Amino acid sequence: MGERDPSMDPEGDELEGESSSSHVVNNEVTPFRTRYPGLVRLKAYIFDGLGDYYNKEWDLLEGNGKEFCWYHVEIPKGNQKLSQSAQYLIDVLCPPLKLQDILSLISNGPYCGYVDGALVFRVNSPGPPSSKFTFRLAARVTENSVITVSLGRVPRLGFSPMGQSLLSEIPSVESPSAKQSGSRESDRIVIKEHVLDFLLTMNHSEEADNPVPKSVSNLVVHIVDTHVDHLEDVVTKLEIELDSVEVDLDKGGFSLKKQLLDDRRFPKMHLDLQRLLQVITHGEQVFPRVKEKCSTKEWFASEDVNSLEELIRRLRRLKDSVGFISNRVTAVQAGLDSWQAEQINRKLYYLSFLSIIFLPLSIITGGQKDPALVDGFRNVILVCVVTLGLVLLCFLFPFLYSRAAAWRRQRAMKRSWSLNRRSFLKRTVPEGRGGYLRL
Q: What is the CATH number of the domain that holds 140?
A: 1.20.58.340
What's the pTM?
0.68
Domain boundary among 299, 325, 341: 341
- Residue 225 in any domain: the answer is yes
Give which of 134, 52, 142 is closest to 97, Cα–Cα: 142
What are the tens digits of pLDDT across the range 362-414? 655 445 555 565 666 677 677 777 777 777 777 677 767 777 888 888 887 77
Which residue type, as a one-letter code, is found at position 374? V
d(CA 261, CA 176): 34
- Residue 376 in any domain: the answer is yes
Question: For residue 156, what pLDDT is reported?
Answer: 81
Longest Cα–Cα distance of the chain, Å, equals 119
Domain boundary among 341, 360, 387: 341
Number of structural domains, the chain? 2
Same domain? 147 vs 241: yes
Same domain? 324 vs 388: no
Same domain? 333 vs 198: yes
- Residue 30 in any domain: the answer is no
Give which of 219, 209, 224, 215 is closest to 309, Cα–Cα: 224
d(CA 257, CA 241): 16
Domain boundary among 293, 323, 341: 341
Same domain? 86 vs 214: yes
Same domain? 378 vs 240: no
Question: For residue 34, what pLDDT is reported?
Answer: 59
* DSSP three-state, residue 224: helix
398, 404, 407, 408 alpha-carbon torsion, rounded to 10°: -120
Same domain? 218 vs 270: yes
Question: For residue 24, what pLDDT is reported?
Answer: 37
- Residue 187 in any domain: the answer is no
Same domain? 410 vs 267: no
Same domain? 268 vs 397: no
| Residues in the chain with pLDDT values less than 50 | 1-33, 178-185, 365-366
Question: For residue 338, what pLDDT is reported?
Answer: 85
- Residue 36 in any domain: the answer is no
CA atoms within 13 A on the CB side of 306: 3
- Residue 10 in any domain: the answer is no
Same domain? 400 vs 293: no
Angle (deg, nearest 10), helices 302-358 and 254-263: 120
Same domain? 234 vs 307: yes
- Residue 18 in any domain: the answer is no
d(CA 7, CA 11): 9
Residue 49: domain span: 41-161+193-341
- Residue 144 in any domain: the answer is yes
Same domain? 314 vs 390: no
- Quick one: 190 exposed, middle or buried, by C-beta within 10 A (0-12, 13-18, 19+)? middle
Same domain? 276 vs 405: no
